[in-house]
Amino acid sequence: MVVIRQYLDDDLHEVVSLWYRSWNSAFPNLKHPQLFEEWKSRFQREYATQGGTWVATTQEKILGFMVVSKVFSNEGVIDQIFVDIDVQRKGIGTALINRAKQISPNGLKLRTLRQNLQACRFYEKHGFITGAKGINPINRQPNIEYYWMPSSDFLRPPR
């Protein structure tokens, strides 16, 4: 059984390993400018201390994680969301997105790389609509914003 719980300091290495492995699997032809140790430092500095980091876990291992921060308009921002490559398409990402919608019922936004077509389809399936396009400041790749508002789930035609 998968449980979504808040991140604990002891989760650091396992979460960052999952993040690094999943990112590199999603973008095998893209060399990220930061090494693993920089990812770990960045996670500690930018995400672990926010209190909005959640992990999807079984008793044995962490299967995914997300970081949800709040902005002034009561809208949440999904700063990161990743699922272990070995358990993708098994409902872990959906469980994390549903938790994010519970945390931020007034709306959510996020950015993903435009070339991450699997993620784009996933967000659209869960009621997110596209927004502005830009450039990721860390890896300099084209990205796209996605937005979810509670009413947007009802605007989408059934699939």
Question: Domains of the chain, with CATH numbers?
Answer: 3-155 (3.40.630.30)
Query: What is the reported pLDDT for 59?
Result: 85
Query: What is the reported pLDDT for 71?
Result: 62
Return the closest-CA partner of residue 41 out of 13, 82, 64, 69.
13
Query: What is the reported pLDDT for 152?
Result: 53
Query: What is the reported pLDDT for 23?
Result: 86
Cβ-in-10-Å burial (0-12, 13-18, 19+) of 72 comes to: exposed
Query: What is the reported pLDDT for 1?
Result: 87
pLDDT tens by residue, the chain, 159 residues: 899 999 999 999 999 999 999 988 888 887 776 788 888 998 898 888 777 999 999 988 999 999 998 765 678 899 999 999 999 999 999 999 999 999 999 999 999 999 999 999 999 999 999 999 999 888 888 999 999 998 755 444 444
Query: What is the reported pLDDT for 27?
Result: 80
Angle at CA of residue 4, ends 88 and 155, nearest 5°: 70
Between the alpha carbon of residue 127 and those of residues 121, 123, 146, 147, 151, the distances in Å are: 10, 7, 10, 8, 9
As a residue count, the chain comes to 159
CB 74 within 8 A of CB 106: yes
CB 141 within 8 A of CB 33: no
Dihedral over Cα of 120, 124, 128, 129: its sign: positive
Query: What is the reported pLDDT for 72?
Result: 56
